[in-house]
Amino acid sequence: MSAVQDTADRILDAASELFASRGYAATTTRAISEKAGVNEVTLFRRFDNKIGVLKALGERFRSRQAGHAAAAAPDSESVRETLMRLARMEIASTAESGALAIRLAFDARSVPEIAELLGDAVPANLEGLAEFMAEHQASGELRSDLDPKVMAEAFFALTSSYVMYRITMGVLPMALDIETDEGIEQLFDVFWSGAAAKEEQA
């Protein structure tokens, strides 16, 4: 990782933590810079302003969402392998940034720039995964009698929404090894047992 990228990541990590704990409006660029261990001028050079930091966090969110990643799934993966990988990614991303996402969702009611940033992010994530589901329904790998959007909703309910629930109810941190945790596999199997075509379950 380059020094420039490392600095940018430190700024974004600091902003994520501060936005989650203080809220967007109450967090200054000076506070972000101090927490990141950089000069405030460095933040301005890299992101222009606080809105630029917020937009960069939004891009980071999108890059870690299943609905956006599904379109780039390699042909060598089975639908089950792809969805399992996406489930791990959703859980890992939400465990890392879920508190921020919850805070931003509340702040969006009173801060126009947050409302604009969130905009169609959640619907687009859902739509992207629903399109993936529809493609694999057409190929016979997933049940064709279910609405692909319902399957996508069920997927998120057992991944990111599950983690959000734990954050909201105060039962984090989760002791998870995202790569091997048996609990994640069990959550995914609940989804897969309802979504897979019978031949795929065998």
Structural domain range at position 112: 64-201
Q: For residue 46, is it within any domain? A: yes
Q: Judge whether 11 lies within some domain.
A: yes
Same-domain check for residues 150 and 185? yes
Residues 41 and 125 in one domain: no
Provide the CATH number for the domain around residue 22. Answer: 1.10.10.60
Q: Is residue 9 over pLDDT 90?
A: yes
pTM (two decimals): 0.83
Q: Is residue 133 part of a domain?
A: yes
Q: Considering the domain boundaries, does residue 55 fall inside one?
A: no
Q: Are residues 44 and 133 in the same domain?
A: no
pLDDT digits over 11-34, tens only? Answer: 999 999 999 999 999 999 999 999
- Tally the domains of the chain: 2
pLDDT digits over 83-111, tens only?
999 999 998 888 888 889 889 989 998 98
41 and 80 fall within a common domain: no
Q: Residue 196 maps to which CATH number? A: 1.10.357.10
Is residue 58 one of the residues assigned to a domain?
Answer: no
Is residue 9 located within the same domain as residue 91? no
Rounded to the nearest 10°, the torsion over CA 167, 171, 173, 178 is -80
Q: Are residues 44 and 79 in the same domain?
A: no
Task: Report pLDDT for 10.
Answer: 96
Q: What is the pLDDT of residue 137?
A: 96
Examine the domain organization and report whether 85 and 184 are in the same domain: yes
> Mean pLDDT across the stretch 139-168?
92
Domain-located, residue 13: yes
Same domain, 197 and 123: yes
* Shared-domain flag, residues 92 and 156: yes
Average pLDDT of the chain?
89
